[in-house]
Amino acid sequence: MRFRPLTAVLPLAAVLAGCSGDLSVLDPAGPSSQAIAGLWWAMLAGAVGLFTLIMVLLYIVFFAPRLVENVTPKQWIGWGGLAMPIPVLLALLAYAFVQGEKLFGAEALEPAVTVTATSRMWGWDFVYEQDGNQINTQDVLHIPVGQPVRILTTSTDVIHSFWVPRLGGKIDAIPGQTTSIVLRADVEGTFGGICAEYCGEGHSAMNFRVQAHSVENFQNTLRTLQP
What confidence tens digit (pLDDT) does each residue in 45-90 have? 989 988 998 899 889 889 988 888 888 888 888 887 888 888 888 9
Task: For residues 159 and 35, give the distance between their C-alpha atoms in angstroms, rounded to a whole number.
Answer: 26
> 3-state DSSP: the chain helix, strand, coil percent, rounded to 5?
40, 25, 30
Closest Cα partner for 225 from 141, 164, 159? 141
Task: At 64, give phi and psi (nearest 5°).
Answer: -140, 60
Q: What is the pLDDT of residue 12?
A: 45
Task: For residues 150 and 148, give the distance between their C-alpha atoms in angstroms, rounded to a whole number.
Answer: 7
Mean pLDDT computed over 143-172 = 95
Side chain identity at 164, as an amino acid letter?
A: V
Task: For residues 80 and 74, give the distance between their C-alpha atoms in angstroms, rounded to a whole number.
Answer: 10
Q: Is the pLDDT of residue 17 over 70?
A: no
Q: Is the pLDDT of residue 11 over 60?
A: no
Q: Is the pLDDT of residue 192 over 80?
A: yes
Determine contact, residues 156/118, Cβ cutoff 8 Å. Answer: yes
Q: Is the pLDDT of residue 18 over 80?
A: no
Q: 3-class DSSP state for residue 133? A: strand
Q: 3-class DSSP state for residue 20? A: coil
Q: 3-class DSSP state for residue 48? A: helix
DSSP-assigned states of every residue in 158-222: S-EEEE-TTT--EEEE-BT--EEEEE--SS-EEEEEEE-S--STTGGG-EEEEEEE-HHHHHHHH
Q: What is the pLDDT of residue 19?
A: 67
Q: Is the pLDDT of residue 137 over 70?
A: yes
Mean pLDDT computed over 178-199 = 95
Q: Is the pLDDT of residue 38 over 80?
A: yes
Specify the pairing of strand 160-163 against strand 140-144: unpaired
Which of 19-28, 100-109, 113-122 has the least mean pLDDT?
Answer: 100-109
Closest Cα partner for 128 from 141, 115, 147? 115
